Amino acid sequence: MPDQTAGLPQLRGDCGNCFGLCCVALPFAASADFALDKPAGTPCPNLAADHRCGIHARLRDKGFTGCTVYDCFGAGQKVSRHTFDGQDWRTAPKDRARRMFEAFPVVRQLHELLWYLTEALTLPAARPVHPELRGALEETERLTLLPAGQLAALDVAAHRAEINVLLLRTSELVRAAAAGGKGARGGKGGKGGKGKDRRGADLMGARLRGADLRGATLRGAYLIAADLTGADLRDADMIGADLRDADLSDADLTGAFFLTQPQVNAARGSGGTRLPGTLSRPAHWE
């Protein structure tokens, strides 16, 4: 798949141009992912005055694995530099800071949709819906540029539902092409996506070592701690699949689509794991 998303830095987190919004705006609870409780709108105790993490190199050791998994899809710099014109929440009036914290999670959701739509437009098999995808991309980008008050009032769930119709159609086209023998990426095809509808499936801890999941739809599937060692996930729809602690060692995710960096970050892998070109190999896999 052409790595067009790699040329869109606005869809990748740029902490140097953000005021640490994810470390303030979002809440987290003491768990396997976070070492302590923190309410929304309260700075994490590890956040330094320069908006950098004071324990960034030791997050996993200190019990903050959730921070190493998270990615804002570029929403942080959009809200910091565009929506609020570069004004720091530390020096802003309390009401303005509050509106910044309200806008951030909304823009984050919109930017995630921009990632999916941008990727969908790189998939040759989805050409029949490219015009609609382009329109949805433009509308979603327009929404990200709304003033803070309008962002806070935006019905993101309704917009996501509209986008989901297009993403479902994209998935059907891509997986059908992969199963048909001369798919979007020129694979051999065959039985690839037939009968592999695992949408929302409970596969927690499942033994899927070496499984043939090519062309499957794993939308929203629970793959927590699943053993996917050596599994074939080529041309699989991975949108919303929960890969926390899933073992992707030596798995082939070449051409897997709607897979995001946070999903990969949450999993375990090896030097033999094959990822789409849009994604980076997590440091903790080494």
The per-residue pLDDT for 7 is: 46
Whether 72 and 111 have beta carbons less than 8 Å apart is answered as: yes
SS3 at position 53: strand
The per-residue pLDDT for 10 is: 77
The per-residue pLDDT for 190 is: 39
- Structure tokens belonging to residue 273: 């794991």
The per-residue pLDDT for 126 is: 97
pTM: 0.90
For residue range 132-141, list pLDDT tens digits in order.
Answer: 999 999 999 9
The per-residue pLDDT for 179 is: 86
Residues of the chain predicted below pLDDT 70? 1-9, 181-195
The per-residue pLDDT for 185 is: 39
SS3 at position 227: strand
Q: Taking the mean position of all CA atoms in its chain, how far away is CA 147? A: 24
For residue range 43-70, list pLDDT tens digits in order.
Answer: 999 999 999 999 999 999 999 999 999 9
